[in-house]
Structure formats: structure tokens, C-alpha cells
Amino acid sequence: MSHRDRVHSRGILVWLVERLRGREQLLVRAADDLPLLLLRYSRGGLPVAREIEVAYAHTLPRLSAES
């Protein structure tokens, strides 16, 4: 059997890598009228999670209802 005959589901490989790397969480508090947002991300993804936090907590409340 050659290596070309071996087929592995990408989902299993992604799941395995995520399990090995671990996951982290960040709770984002925004304006009183917005719900809390729980971000769950792979370890090492904090910079992206912080960008989402800024967008949710600071930018979203400032958008007008007409936008």
C-alpha cells in the first residue's frame, strides 16, 4: 500500500492538533445591553481573540442602528 492509498479525514487531524495544542477562553464584557461573549480559541490565538474583543466591546456599541 503506497502513501497515496492512505486517506485520513482532515477533521480527525484538525481535532487531534487542537487537542494537543489546547484551547483557551476569553470572556468579553461589552455594553449593558449586549450579552457576554465567550471566545474559545486554540492556544496561541490570543491576538486574534483580542481583535474580536475590541470589535465587539468597543466598535459594535458605537455603530448606529442605521448602519
* C-alpha cell read off for 16: 487531534
Number of domains making up the chain: 1
* Whether pLDDT at 3 is above 80: no
Whether residue 9 is contained in a domain is answered as no
Alpha helix (H) residue ranges in 1-67:
10-21, 46-54
Whether residue 15 is contained in a domain is answered as no
Question: Is-contact 53 34, C-beta < 8 A?
Answer: no
Whether residue 32 is contained in a domain is answered as yes
Whether residue 52 is contained in a domain is answered as yes
Whether residue 16 is contained in a domain is answered as no
pLDDT band at 13 (very low <50, low <70, confident <90, very high): confident
In this prediction, residue 50 carries a pLDDT of 95
Query: Tens digits of per-residue pLDDT, 16-51?
Result: 887 888 889 999 988 778 889 999 998 889 999 999
Whether residue 35 is contained in a domain is answered as yes
Whether residue 13 is contained in a domain is answered as no
Whether residue 43 is contained in a domain is answered as yes
**Which one, of 40, 37, 42, 43, lies nearest residue 55 by Cα?**
37
- Which structural domain range is residue 57 located in? 23-67
